[in-house]
Chain A
Amino acid sequence: MARVKNSVVVVTGASSGIGRATALAFADAGGTVVITARSEHALEEVAQQCRERGADVLVLPADVTDAAAVEQIARETAGRFGRIDTWVNNAGVTLFGRIEEAPVRSWHRVIETNVFGTYHGLRAVIPWMREQGSGVIVNVSSVVGKLPTPLVSSYTASKYAVRALSDCARQELLDVPGIAVCTVLPGPIDTPLFDHGANYSGWRPKPLKPVIAAERVAATIVSCAAKPQDEAFVGASSGMVLGFRRAAPGFAARAAAAQVPKDHFTAEPVGGSDGNLFQPADSTGSISGGWTRSSKKTSLDDPKTASESGSERSRLRRGMAVAALVSAAGAGLGGAIRARANR
């Protein structure tokens, strides 16, 4: 982690979930951490946890939908610490509900935060990184950035766009070999996103299984900063699902359309809400949303044990075996149908 020690890292959306875990992971690795989110009191708690790990930390509350505010974060960071080595565009919100049922302004707001927020981050940090000739930009997309998912259309569209933005930025920065742009694509993660998100579906949402601890995403982001890669998946289920989709796209789309409404929601009915779209959540934030067994019995300060439990891993292995069989069968069937059609 030579590249992370003594580096200066900006993390957006650091008040909870993946952003919070990422800030702590960089603090553990010897980085200087600049944390931003809308909720100052939640950030102060994260800052205290970073300081306890011996890191220098700067709290800069801001809304990533405000381009000028994000530019000021980059300016303040470079001015205070002299450099920006890693910039993590993580801030994200979500909205559950059908396209025609969710309010227009809520749908727009998800795009504004997730897509415009990432764009504002890129726009703010690139001049500083160009000048210093080095840096790593990590954009947090999602496995749904490659996989259409019903009832979270704005989130899915935003994560496709984040991936596209990363690819464009990487092309534009080819003239500076010292700058890398990474896209991190996590699968379902145990964060408060499912409780904080806007919801017009009528039911309380939950993450699809298998659920991964946010600390694992944070570890991937830190490793991207140390050794950049264009795209990094987190969680074996992501690769499995994408392989399934490549092998049998039509079947995968129909399977997702049938399964997601069942598996992404609990049986608990809830009224429509904008969640944290327009106002930050009242709480001081947390990394976990309490969706894994381990998260309920694990201290947040102990990321090593906050990973999947053994039983979750075995379920994951079983799921992968079934999916591999289905993929192979789908691919074989598709091939046979195509061969027959060509005859």
Chain B
Amino acid sequence: MPVAAETLLRNTIDAPTDVPRHRSERHTVDGVRIHCRTWLGPHGDHLPAVVMLHGIGIASRINEPSARILARIRHVYAPDLPGFGKSQGSDAVSIEDYADVLDQWMAVRGLSDAVVTGVSVGAQIAAAVAQHYPGRCRDLVLASPTVQESRRSWLRQLAIAPVEVSMHTGRMRVIQTSDFARAGLPRLRRTFSSALKDRLEDRMPEIRQPALVCWGNRDPMLTRSWVTSLVDALPRGRLAALPGVRHAMTHEDPLPFCRATLHVLSLSR
């Protein structure tokens, strides 16, 4: 049955578009209540689940449009990291801290051997999960992976950020405003400081799983040469250069992101 499902449901057009609404789940991990939006797709029991990680400030709602598409084929879990969205705050602020929390949360939730995706800073956390907890991650998808080596300073990031924000849709701005307020400035500052210190390129050679790097050519935060260097450093890396796609692709351009992800998953088996 799993073989049949993977053979038939290779990409977005192969499954009906009606997907049940997500449900909110809360699990306690090391004394912290972690919130997760969960979509249980009709075929999900036969295929590896997808865990989608958000970036800084904007919590799991950034992944909602993509999750709804992926859930046509697989179960999708989009947790809020500690201190973001509807999850409780904790002492975790670094990329490694968040990876540790996710490992524990996946253990509590009974998730292993999943497809782990992350967008922006979420991609840094996803890469850390794949590196340190390979049993949790069978395929890795890095969407708009930050922070580009040549732009690793507050000044440079603050200079580019307005360009990126100007490309956001109205709905994205609404989510961003409310999620920024929930996270609070101190957590945002400390988490982003940690993201700036994280050397994603150094993790790449350690990641043994098949990995897809998705980059939109309208992303002002990242250049093609940066994502190409990441793919070159990955033992089993692939690049999806997506025309017309923006930085926050899981929310703003969900269909190209999902098609590229499902395509690579269908090839990696």
Residues in A lying within 8 Å of B, measured CB to CB:
6-8, 31-32, 56, 75-76, 78-83, 127-128, 131-132
Contact = CB atoms under 8 A, between A and B. Distances in A.
A127 B17 CA distance: 12
Contacts of B242: 81-83
Interface in B191-245: 217-218, 240-245
Which 10 pairs from chain A and chain B are nearest by CB? A82-B256, A79-B263, A6-B244, A6-B243, A82-B242, A127-B13, A32-B243, A82-B259, A78-B259, A82-B260
Contacts of B244: 6-7, 83
Interface of A is mostly: helix
30 contacts: A6-B217, A6-B218, A6-B243, A6-B244, A7-B244, A8-B243, A31-B243, A56-B243, A75-B10, A75-B263, A76-B263, A79-B259, A79-B260, A79-B262, A80-B260, A80-B263, A81-B240, A81-B243, A82-B242, A82-B245, A82-B256, A83-B244, A83-B255, A83-B256, A83-B259, A127-B13, A131-B12, A131-B13, A131-B17, A131-B255
Contact of B243 (A75, A78, A83): A83
Interface residues of B, number: 23
Nearest to B216: A82
A82 B217 contact: no
Nearest to A78: B259
A80 B244 CA distance: 13
B39 interface: no
Contact of B253 (A75, A80, A82, A127): A82
B148 interface: no
Interface in B242-269: 242-245, 253, 255-257, 259-260, 262-264, 266
B120 interface: no
Nearest to B224: A56
B11 interface: yes
Given A78-B263, A81-B241, 13 more contacts: A8-B243, A31-B243, A32-B243, A75-B11, A79-B11, A79-B264, A81-B256, A82-B242, A82-B259, A83-B242, A83-B243, A83-B255, A127-B13
Nearest to B257: A82
A5 to B, nearest CB: 8
Contacts of A56: 241, 243
A98 to B, nearest CB: 45
Contacts of B218: 6
Contacts of B243: 6-8, 31-32, 56, 81-83
Contacts of A80: 240, 260, 263
A188 B11 CA distance: 41
A7 B244 CA distance: 7
Contact of A78 (B11, B17, B245): B11
A29 to B, nearest CB: 12
Contacts of A82: 240, 242-243, 245, 253, 255-257, 259-260
Contacts of B257: 82
A128 B13 contact: yes
Interface string B163-207: 000000000000000000000000000000000000000000000
Nearest to A56: B241
Nearest to A130: B13
Nearest to A55: B243
Most buried by A among B241, B244, B245, B256: B244
Contacts of A7: 243-244
